[in-house]
Structures are given as structure tokens and as C-alpha cells.
Structure 1
Amino acid sequence: MASGIRLENLRKSFGATDVIKGIDMAIEPGEFVVLVGPSGCGKSTLLNLIAGLETVTSGNVLIGGRNVNKVPPRDRDIAMVFQSYALYPTRTVRANITFGMETRRVPKDAQESALAEFAKLLQIDHLLDRKPGQLSGGQRQRVAMGRALVRQPAVFLFDEPLSNLDAKLRIEMRTEIKKLHQRLGKTVVYVTHDQIEAMTLATRIAVMDNGHIRQFADPATIYENPVDLFVAGFMGSPPMNMIPGRLFHENGQVFVLPRSARERIRFPLDGPAGQGEGLADGREVMLGLRPETIFAAGAKLPGPHRFLFEAPVEVVEPTGPDTMLVFQIGGQDLIARVRPEDTATPGATFRFEVDMGKAKLFDAGTGMAL
């Protein structure tokens, strides 16, 4: 059975340094929750508090409705997979996977049954007699996952398990982890600094910064409706373009005038961004435009909120399926994601079209979404 997790005003300090600063979170049984954020934001510390590897300064950790603040890790019905694999180098794969069951005196036939099931599931059944030194990084990570899976706990905790793998293998293992979650239905809390991992794996994402959770929501909401500038800038690759400017009203229409833009481009807020509260004339704002909402002029854009503008291209970056065009407005570097056939020349003026229906607006002072 999967268990839910509830964190109540959770705090953790190391001496005079506050690392976790009053986090409240409810994770439903069977959810795949990803903790994401920059290095030093507190995500691994938060995972360790759930695991019992760190003691709580104040607040509560509840797993399956039970307060586990004073319960040792081995009695929390959890299993953890680390970045470093943490395998015993002198033991075979078989012995690494069954070691925990042996220490808990699980009967031999139950050990062999669990070993066979999960070794086949992870496609490592042909590696059982090898030692970790004879395995690739991806195989070692599968063994580490197998050791966690045979315990069949209520909660799985992953601490950046794919960060030591190369890019191709990370994608493959990401898919395997998602398949495992869909098959087993267990509660998963997964730490990563990679926002692509977060978007592809999670049922909900907790974006962390400086010991706080900035936003906790499903991936689509995090991406499409970030609550503030931090979330908008962190989630997305390339990140959301941010254009500082001020609001301008004319003939019942609201525009954003980019700060110091010699071209005097006026971005019309004729989509959802222009229907919010507090859109006072002259208000200092940040206009957010995702790179994929900026196209070459003439592309067939979805929706009615199209705006055409011109800007000089600074850099052209082909990536294969897309081409990134770096251009400037008001001294600000921006990125457009266009089709490979939409050729551009560095230094030349390029005609862009943007879907203003996807534009986001933030207060320049507070950074909060409007």
C-alpha cells in the first residue's frame, strides 16, 4: 500500500542557519512529487527530514498519518535511492539486492521470489552474479533501485539518482522510473535540480528556493501559470524571456512599453494577461514570453492574439529540431524558438510574430504574477 506524507510547519536549522523555513505540504498516496530548485535551496535536506536521516528542528513529519519525528529510518516504511548508488563493492548484484531482506530475516523463498520479480522488471536478471565494479553506471543505478524495490515500502525517496549518468542514459532511466511508478503505484518523492526531469516525471512539482516552496502544483500549471518571477525563470529550457517595462493605456487597450526600447515596440495585452487586476497606467512590470511562443513571421500561430515586430538577431543556435534565435529589445537578450527552415543571419533584422495569448505579466517590485 502507498502512504501519504504530510509536513506541518517543518523547520530545520544547522546552528544559526535556517535551511528549511516552515514548510507545509500534503502528498497524496501514490503521487510522484518532485522537489526541484537550485543548489542550496534545501531540497535534499527536506528529503532527509522525510527519511529520518536528519532530525526535525520543529514541526512534524507524518507518513501514513503517523508522526515519525522520533521514528528511525528503518521503521518508517521507506526506501531510498541515492545519487552515489551506495552498493557493496565486494558483494554480487544478487547479494546487494537481498542484503536488506536478509537483515530483516525474510524467508529465503520470499527473498528469491522478490529478487526474480524485480530483477526481471529492471532487466538486470542476467547480471545477478556480477559485482558492482563489473557494471556500467546505468546498471548500477538499476541495482540500487532493485534493492529499494524488493523492500516494497509505502514510500520511495530518490535523491538525484540520475545525475551521475550521461544524457542519453538519463533519458532512458527517466522513462524506466516513470514506468515503475505507473506499475507499482507507490508514493514517490524525488529530488532533482533538473527541471526537465521534474516536468516529465512528476504528478506535482514543488519548486523550492531558499528553504521555502514557491509553488506546488501539477507540471502544466507550474509551466503555464508560474506564481512569480523565480518560478517563471527557473522552469523552462530555455527559460522564459523577461522584458522590463511599464503599462500604457490607449483607446481602451493595455500595452507594455519595454524600458529603454529605442524601437518603441508596444506589446498589446489583448489576451489573459491584459485582464488581470491592478493594470494601472504607468505601472512597472515584467512581461514574460516563453521562447516557443515567438515564431518567424508568417508561421501559422494558434489563437487570435498575434503581434508582429522586428528585431536584430544577435546569435543563431541550431539544435536540430529547433533553432534558437537570440535577439535584443531595449538592451535585453531574448530567445525565440523557431523552425530550422526559418533561416536568420546574425546582425540582420528579423521579423518575429508572438502569441500574446500566452504572455505572462509580473509586478516589477514584488515579482508576483498579476
Structure 2
Amino acid sequence: MASGIRLEKLRKSFGGNEVIKGIDLDIAPGEFVVLVGPSGCGKSTLLNLIAGLETVGSGDIFIGGDKVNKVPPRDRDIAMVFQSYALYPTKTVRDNVTFGMETRRVPKDDQAAALEEFARLLQIDHLLDRKPGQLSGGQRQRVAMGRALVRQPEVFLFDEPLSNLDAKLRIEMRTEIKKLHQRLGKTVVYVTHDQIEAMTLATRIAVMDNGHIRQFADPATIYENPVDMFVAGFMGSPPMNMIPGRVWHDGGKVFVLPRGARESIRFPVDGPAARGADLPDGHEVILGLRPETIFAAGTELPGPNRYVFDAPVEVVEPTGPDTMIVFQIGGQDLIARVRPEDVAKPGRAFRFEVDMTKAKLFDAETGKAL
């Protein structure tokens, strides 16, 4: 049975710099929670506090219902996988994986059974007699995971384990980690700055910024209903387009007039953004449009609340399955994700269509979602 984790009013400072600023977090047993955010936001420090590698400034940490503030790492029933692998270079894979069991005096038969099970699961059974220097980056990461798995703890902590791997291998290892979680059902806390990793792996995501958790929710909610501009801009690749403008009522409808744009461009407010109808004329807002909601006019099935507009193309970026078009409204660069066959040329106007039911509206002053 996996153990849950609860953090209450957790704070941590280094010198006069407060890095963790009163975090509350409740992770259910068996969840895969990803801590994501920019460099320096406190996510690795938070993981180290859970692991016991850093001492708590104030607040409490509970694992499996037990308060562990002063419990040493070895007694917290956790296993940690680091970015750097941290393998013993002179030991074989076999000895690296079983070293922890040796120090805990696990019987030899139990060591052999655990080694066999997890070496097969991680597909490193043919590497057991090699040393780390003879392995690829992906193989070394599998060995590091095997060393953690043989302990069979209740909680796994991953600190950016894939950041040293190339793009193809990161995708493969992401899949392997997800399979392991589905098979073992253990609680996982996983740190990354890669929002694609966060979206694909997590059952819930904690988006961190400057020592705080901005939003804690499932990936779909984080993506579709961000609580503020920070979350909206951080989660998504390419990021959400943010268009400064003001609210305008006309003929019983509500529009956002982009700052600096010609008067003919008026984005009709609909869907979740319809709450902007309660705002007075002239209220400063930020209109959020994800690139995939902007496409070449006439290429998608007709739908309600579509808005068609023309804008000059700045840059065309083919990526294979999609083409990114950088265009301008009011002097601001925006991005549309279109199909490869939708031909656009820099310096020329292009007709776009946007699904306004997917638009988000944020208060320009507070950055909060409206």
C-alpha cells in the first residue's frame, strides 16, 4: 500500500532568503504528482525537504500519516532518483543495484529475487556485469531507477531524472516511468522544469513560482483553466498568446479590443471568458489564446463563436506535423499552429480563424483569471 504525503505551512530559508513560503500540499497514496516551474522556484528544495536531505524551517511533513520532520532520510521509507545518476563507477551494475540491500543486510536470496525482478522490468538484465562507464546515459538512468526500485519503498522521489538525456531518449524514458507507476502503484513526487513531462506523467501537477504553489490540479484543468497568467503562460508549448486590450460592449455583445491594433479587429468574448461581460467598458484585460486555437481560415469544421481576421505574417516555422506562424497584432508577435499544407509567406497578410470558446481572459492588473 502506497503512502500519502501531506505538507502543512512548510517554510525553508537559506540565510536571509526564504525559498519555500508556507506551502500546503496533500498528495494521495498512489498519486503521481509533478512539481513544475522555472529554475529557482523552489521545487528541488521542496523535494529535498520531503526526502529529509534539508531540514524544515517551520511547518510539518507527514508521510503515511506520520510526522517525519526529524526522521532521518533512511527511515522515511522513500527512494530517490537524481539527475546525476550517482552510480559507483568501480562497481558493476549488479553491485550498484544491490549495494543498498547489502548495507541493510537483506538476505542474499531476497537480494537475488529483487535484482532479477527489477532488472527484467527495466530491461537491464543483460547489463548486470558491466560498469557505469560502459553504459549509455539511458542505461545508467535505468540502473539508478533499479537501485531505487529494489528497495520497494512506499514513496519515490525523482529530481529531474531525464534532463541529461537526449530528446528521443527522454520520450522513451518518460513512457517507461509511466508504465512503472501504473504497474507498482506507488506514490511518486517528480520534479521537472519541462512542462511536457509534467503534462504527460502527472495525475496532478503543482505549478510553482517563487516558493509558492500557484495551482495544484490535474493536467487538463491546469491547461484548460489556469488560475492566472503565470500558469497559463508556463504550461503549453508554444506558450499561450497574451494580448493586452480593453473590454468593449457593443450591440449586446462583449469584445476585447487589442491595444494598438486597428479598429476592425475586435475579439468577441465567449466561453469561459464570457465573465468579462460584467466588466465596464475600457477595463484593461489580457486576452489569452493558445496557438492551437488559431488556424487558417476555412480549414476547420464550422463552429459557433469563430472569429476571422487578417494579420501580417512575420515568420513561418515548419516543425513537421505542424507549422508555426508568427504574426502581428498591434505590433505584438503572436503564434498560430496551422497544418503544414496551409501556405503562408512572410511579409504578406494571412487570414486566420480563432475558436473564441477556448479563449481565456485575465485581469491586466492582478493577472488573475476572470
Partner of 2:92: 92
Match of 2:141 in 1: 141
Q: Which position in structure 2 is the counterpart of 1:259? A: 259
In the alignment, is the contact (CA less than 8 A) between 1:245 and 1:287 conserved in 2? yes
Of 256-265 and 223-232, deviating more is 256-265
CA distance in 1, matches of 2:323, 2:173: 27
Query: Within 1, Cα distance between the matches of 2:339 and 2:258?
Result: 26
Rounded to whole Å, the distance in 1 between the matches of 2:275 and 2:15 is 47
Alpha-carbon displacement from aligned partner over 1:283-339 (angstroms, at most 9, x marks no partner): 100000000000100022474120000000000000000000000001110000000
Q: How does 1:124-135 map to 2 (within 5 A)?
A: 124-135=124-135
* Residue 263 of structure 1: how far off its partner (Å): 4.9
1:97-151 CA distances to partner (integer Å, 9 max, x unpaired)?
Answer: 0000011110000000000000000000000000000000000000000000000
CA distance in 2, matches of 1:336, 1:297: 12
Q: Are the counterparts in 1 of residues 316 and 324 from structure 2 also a CA contact under 8 Å?
A: yes
The count of aligned residue pairs is 370
Identity %: 86
Quick check: 2:316–2:323 contact (8 Å CA) kept in 1? yes
CA distance in 1, matches of 2:85, 2:275: 50
Superimposed CA distance per residue, residues 84-103 of structure 1 (whole angstroms, 9 cap, x where no aligned partner):
00000000000000000011
Query: For 2:83, what is the secondary structure of its paired residue?
Result: coil
The aligned counterpart of 2:242 is 242
Amino acid at match of 1:22: G
Q: Which residue of structure 1 aligns with residue 21 of structure 2?
A: 21
> Is 1:253–1:270's contact at 8 Å kept on the other side of the alignment?
no
Q: Which amino acid aligns with 2:251?
A: N
| Bigger Cα displacement from structure 2, 34-43 vs 297-306 | 297-306
Give the aligned partner of residue 313 of structure 1.
313
RMSD: 0.9
Q: Which moved more, 1:297-306 or 1:28-37?
A: 297-306
Post-superposition offset of 1:279: 2.2
The one-letter code sitting in structure 2 at the alignment partner of 1:193 is H
Tell me the distance in 2 between the aligned counterparts of 1:18 and 1:254.
43
Q: Is the Cα contact below 8 Å between 2:13 and 2:19 reproduced in 1?
A: yes
Amino acid at match of 1:142: R
User: Which residue of structure 1 lines up, in the alignment, with residue 58 of structure 2?
Assistant: 58
Secondary structure in 2 matching 1:282: coil
Following superposition, the deviation at residue 159 of structure 1 comes to 0.1
Q: Does structure 1 residue 275 correspond to structure 2 residue 242?
A: no
Secondary structure of the structure 1 residue equivalent to 2:56: coil
The aligned residue for residue 45 of structure 1 is 45
In the other structure, the counterpart of 2:202 is 202
Shift of 1:270: 2.9
Code of the residue aligned with 1:107 in structure 2: it is P
Structure 1: runs of 5 or more not aligned: none
TM-score (norm 1): 0.99
Query: Conserved in 1, the CA contact under 8 Å of 2:254 and 2:276?
Result: no
Q: Any runs of at least 4 consecutive aligned residues in structure 1 with deviations exceeding 6 A, and if so which?
A: none
Which amino acid in 2 is paired with 1:168? Answer: K
Is this contact kept in 2: 1:34–1:204, CA < 8 A? yes
Question: The residue matched to 1:175 in structure 2 has which SS?
Answer: helix
Name the aligned partner's letter for residue 161 of structure 1: P
Aligned to 1:296: 296
Consecutive unaligned residues in structure 2, runs of 5 or more: none
1:54 partner amino acid: E
Contact 1:301 1:355 in 2 (8 A): no
